[in-house]
Every structure is written in C-alpha cells, then in structure tokens.
Amino acid sequence: MEITQMHMEGINRWIRNYFRGLEQDPDHYLNGCEDNWLLYGTDTAQRPYLAVLDLVCQLEYENSLRKAPIEKHARGITKGDESRISNSKIVFNYDTLLIQATGDGTRPFSLAGGNFPTDQSRDFFNRFNTSPFSLSGLPFEKLRIGSLKHDNSQNPVDPDDVLGTLRFYAVRRACKFLLYDAISQGFKIRYVLDDLNLTAVAGKAAVAGNGEKVPVCTTELREIFRSWDFFRNHVTFYLDFQKVAPPWSYANPWCDVNTMYLWAWYANHLATKQINKNGTVPEVSYENSILFSCQTLFDQHNWVPAIAHYHASKPSRHRHAAMLHL
C-alpha cells in the first residue's frame, strides 16, 4: 500500500482539527484510535496504517514526519513487536506448533505447543487449542480433506506436504478464532481492505503471487460474512483510511454485479446447508422460512435482499460464536 497525497491531506486535516478542538471526520481511521482494537488485513496494508498511528501519537508529529516519512517508518514495523496487529499472537511455525498425526486416518489428531517466542503467543495457542476451532481431537483424514480446500498446491500423498498444509490450515482456523477471542476480551476489530482483491475474496479464489493458496484474509472475511449478525457490532471496515461499508455492499465502488452475485451465491449455499440441517423441526420453522426466502431471492437474481435474508436468519446461533458464549 502506498501513502498518497490524498491520504496525507486527510491525516493532516484530522490532526489539525484534533489539536484545535474542532469537529473531526467521524469516519477517519484515526477517530477512536485510543480505543482497544486489533487491526486485521494484509501485511502490506497493516504496516502503513500502524505507521500513521505511531507517528500521530508522537507530540512532535510534523518534525517526526520530516525525519521519517510514513513509508520508511512503515517498513520498520514488524508483526512481532506490534501488539495491535491481529496475527502477532499467531506464531505457528515448525518450532512452535507440533503436529502429532497418527498413522490411522480415523484416529484423533492432536496439536501441541512447542517453543513459543512470547508468553502471549503461548497463551493464545492454549486458548485456541481448547476452542471449537482447534484441530485437536478430529480425525486426520477429515482435516487433510478440509485443509486442501484452501491449498491445491500440495501433494496429498506426501506426508510432509500434508503436515505443512495442516499447519497452514491451523493458522486459518486460529485467525478465525482470534476474531471471537479478541471480542470476548473487549477489543473491536478494525479490518483494513486496502491491497485486497475483494472480488476474489467473494469467490474464494487464489490470487496472483499466492501460488495455489487462497489468502488467509479470504478465510477471515468469509467468517465475518457467515456471522455478520454477530460481527456487525464489533467490526469496522476501512479503505484509504476511511470507514466503508462491508465488502458485500453496493455502497462500495468496487462492488459490481459480479461481486454481489458471488456473495449472494455464498449466502444461498449457506442457507441451503442450514435448511438441510434444520429438517422439519417445528422450532426452526420461522428460521427456515427466512432461509427459503434467501433461496427464492437468489433464484430471482435479487442479490442484495438474498444476502439480507440470510443474515436475518441470525446464522451466528449455529456457529462458533454461540459455542464460545459470546
């Protein structure tokens, strides 16, 4: 992400108004910067956003900016030393995450913690490993198949490739768990959409420069979409340092008909799965009626109301938010 003149003008305007006691732009990223929050997004976008915050928090802002331009300052911020970056806690490399796979694919699989660099990262792993998102306790074969949904570049026959793929799968699930874990601890989620191909996210597609892997941000955003009835009170999206509507909203300039179709298709897919799970139990008849409406609206090419009806069914009740008692 490149800091443009437009970005700098908005940042400077916010700072001038702040120190003069004037009304500030309520949708600017710097608004609410003193709250408790975690920053989600790509590495290339996270660093500039944090660099801006770091420089603004210094009293001699203008002098600091002349000595260390934001672009230069951003390159010096690493995930390891910045607690506000979402996945600074997720250290799941070959030293920290010990995968214990059994020879029999039907027997329980387990994860164990190795040598974590910080107590914070170890504590996070322990919470993750006892959560509904953990890989531990599930059959190896089921996890292998699930992990390959996100990574087609690995050879499923090679044990080393499978274990590497499972480690990456654990990272994906840990990122989703962190959303709920952070919220349960009183944090807001700030999701930066800069440098993301949001049509590819909607279609769960691999992107250039990422091999055959689907980016982790896609996993996170689709989890937020699935349970938007829960996340809407905890997640704010930003683009160009400004608050924006969710990625599946026509209010955003990138959200064309094709992108909306992909989100609506996903809503319809999820609605169908939930209807099949619900069956004909009387207690879920009202929920099913909303989900049936989602299907009907999708068939009629009414993408926006189809998505709205899916979210109106309160899907988070069936997902991990409920299991975590949030």
Residue 324, token pair as written in the block: 């975590």
Judge if pTM exceeds 0.85: yes
How do residues 218-235 score in pLDDT, each as one tens digit? 999 999 999 999 999 999
> Does the pLDDT of residue 17 top 90, yes or no?
no
Q: Name the residue among 198, 196, 188 with its Cα closest to residue 250.
A: 198
pLDDT value at residue 205: 87
Of 274, 319, 317, 270, whose CA–CA distance to 131 is shortest?
Answer: 319
Which residue did the predictor score with more confidence, 83 or 300? 300
Distance from C-alpha of 181 to C-alpha of 168, rounded to nearest angstrom: 19
Please give the average per-residue pLDDT across 152-181, as a whole number: 75
pLDDT of residue 162: 66
Cβ–Cβ < 8 Å for 218, 200: yes
Which single residue is written with the structure tokens 């609206």? 297
Mean pLDDT for 305-321 is 88
Q: What is the pLDDT of residue 84?
A: 80
Residues 171 and 213: beta-carbon distance below 8 Å: no
Edge-to-edge order in the sheet of strand 235-239: 37-40, 188-192, 235-239, 242-244
Which of 167, 174, 177 is CA-nearest to residue 101?
167
pLDDT, the chain, mean:
83
Alpha-carbon gap, residue 185 to 325, rounded angstroms:
12
pLDDT in tens, 48-82: 888 888 777 665 555 555 555 666 666 666 554 56
Question: Residue 150: what pLDDT?
Answer: 65
Model pLDDT, residue 75: 64
The mean per-residue pLDDT over the stretch 90-110 comes to 77
| Bigger pLDDT: 164 vs 188 | 188
Long-range contacts (CB closer than 8 Å, 24 or more residues apart) made by 302-310 = 303/257, 303/260, 303/261, 303/263, 303/264, 304/250, 304/260, 304/264, 306/264, 306/267, 306/268, 307/248, 307/260, 307/263, 307/264, 307/267, 309/267, 309/271, 310/267, 310/268, 310/270, 310/271
- Structure confidence at residue 76 (pLDDT): 63
CA–CA distance, 163 with 146 (Å, rounded to integer): 13
Reported as a single tens digit per residue, the pLDDT across 259-292 is: 999 999 999 999 999 999 887 766 678 888 999 9
Residue 241 pLDDT: 94
DSSP structural state of residue 72: H
Which of 1-5, 58-62, 144-148 is predicted with the least confidence, judged by mean pLDDT? 58-62
Least confident of 19-28, 184-193, 219-228, 251-260: 19-28
Q: Which pLDDT belongs to residue 191?
A: 97
Q: Nearest CA to 29 among 58, 56, 5?
A: 56
Distances (CA, A) of 313 to 26, 179, 270, 321: 31, 21, 11, 15
Phi/psi for 167 (5° steps) reads -65, -40
pLDDT tens by residue, 186-205: 999 999 999 999 999 999 98
The upper half-sphere exposure of residue 242, i.e. CA atoms within 13 Å in the direction of its Cβ, equals 10
pLDDT at residue 236 tops 90: yes
Q: Which residue type does 238 have?
A: Y
- Strand, helix or coil at 99? strand
Residues with Cβ within 8 Å of 9's Cβ and at least 6 positions away in sequence, in order, are none
SS3 89: coil
Alpha carbons 285 and 35: distance in angstroms, whole number: 41
- Look at residue 101 in the predicted model and tell me its pLDDT: 63
**Most confident residue range from 72-86, 95-109, 144-158:** 95-109
The predicted structure's pLDDT at residue 85: 82
Strands 37-40 vs 188-192: parallel, antiparallel or unpaired: parallel
- 101-113: average pLDDT: 73
More confident residue, 18 or 123: 123
Higher pLDDT, 4 or 107: 4
Binning pLDDT at 50, 70 and 90, where does residue 239 land?
A: very high
In terms of pLDDT, which residue wins out, 284 or 302? 302
- Taking residues 227-255, report their average pLDDT: 94
